Amino acid sequence: MRLAAAVALLLLLGAFAMRGVATAAGRPSTLDVRIDAISAHTLLSEPAVLLADPARQAAATRRAHWTVFGFVLTQIFQALALFYLWSSGGAAALRDRLRRRLRSEWAVRFSFGAALALVARLAAFFPAFYLYRVDHVLNLTTQLTRYWVLFWLFHTFVAMAIAGFIAAVVLWLASRTHQWYVYAIGGILAASVVWSYLSPSRLRTFAGSTPAELRFVTAFAQGVQHDQLSIALIQGGIIIVFAALAVVIADRVRFRRDDDPLSRLTLVAALLAVVYLAAVPVRNSVQRSYDLADDAYAIAFTDDPASAVRALIREGDQHMVEVCPGTAAMLFLYAEPGLGVRVAAINHVPSSCPR
């Protein structure tokens, strides 16, 4: 009951924080005045690099560099913390401590998986706080630090519950059948599909958006819904491939004297944090083609390419999205083509982005 009350309090406080953020984001800005003043002819004839606000684009480039650094640092910190926990014998000691205190092996596995998630979250705390501060300094969020910490705690509880459940189920399957991986693959694909449909929609509106822009955004979201199942299956397949890679690498590492399948889970988790750095670029690359198709679908539906370009430029200016992302940003940050490429595809002109 105390845990449930704490979670409810976190959600309540978080709701107040997000209401403040939404209120701030809803205020009109001088950017809207500039974007609204761009003529339809200009929108359909100029590349995005000339349509976007230069100052916001310079800030977007800085933000991308800082965010990539924070993202990579997050994975490295998590991998190092988990690898040290395993190599120092701490994972085996934790396993033994849990088995002395808990009678059920299911509870031991769940608690062990939850503990690994806690270690990973604690290791990534400072990179996560750094990323929050990047957005705060650039005025992309007005969320107060105390509310950010509350959200971090809530997400940590959720991560621990999910990791504990996965560890308990997978290890239970492995102890029951040699074909455990077949059931695990099915579970990953099913979870990917469910998560895809339960996750927040990519339908985004911006302060100052015109009715014509909102029609484009709504039509674009409909195109995204058509692709949702295939994207979910692709993401599930990528998770399966790279998780299998982590398991294969772990099998090549010599067993410690006090190792067993439960303690070795720590090594697998450390390797998952590393291979995630390779999985993200693959996922992003696969998903990019869908946005161009959804843009075409939305324009065919609305028959208003000028409003489509205006909506994309407004998104880039308000959210500091790069028109011409660099290589690192394309690898790790963007699951969609750069705005320069999208506008060029709509206008059938070169993007003018440096290659």
93 CB-near residues (< 8 Å, 6+ apart): none
Instruction: Fill in the amino acid letter for 174.
Output: A
What pLDDT, in 10s, does the model give residues 136-145?
999 898 899 9
Which of 156-165, 226-235, 236-245 is predicted with the least confidence, judged by mean pLDDT? 226-235
Enclosing H/E stretch for 209: none
Q: Which residues lie closer than 8 Å to 220 by C-beta, 6 or more apart?
A: 203, 294, 295, 297, 298
pLDDT bucket at 120, cuts 50 / 70 / 90: very high
Alpha-carbon gap, residue 29 to 134, rounded angstroms: 21
What's residue 234's pLDDT? 87
Q: What is the pLDDT of residues 51-72, one digit of tens each?
A: 999 999 999 999 999 999 999 9
DSSP 221: H
Find tokens 């500039």 and name the residue. 34
User: Is the pLDDT at 336 greater than 70, yes or no?
Assistant: yes
Q: Which range scores top for mean pLDDT: 121-125, 195-199, 338-342?
A: 121-125
Task: Render pLDDT for 67-102 as a digit per residue (tens, 0 to 9).
Answer: 999 999 999 999 999 999 999 999 999 999 999 999
Query: For the residues 194-212, what does the mean pLDDT come to?
Result: 71
CA angle, 346 then 353 then 234, to 5°: 65
Residue of 53, 48, 66, 57 whose CA lies nearest to 332: 66
Specify the pLDDT at position 74. Answer: 96
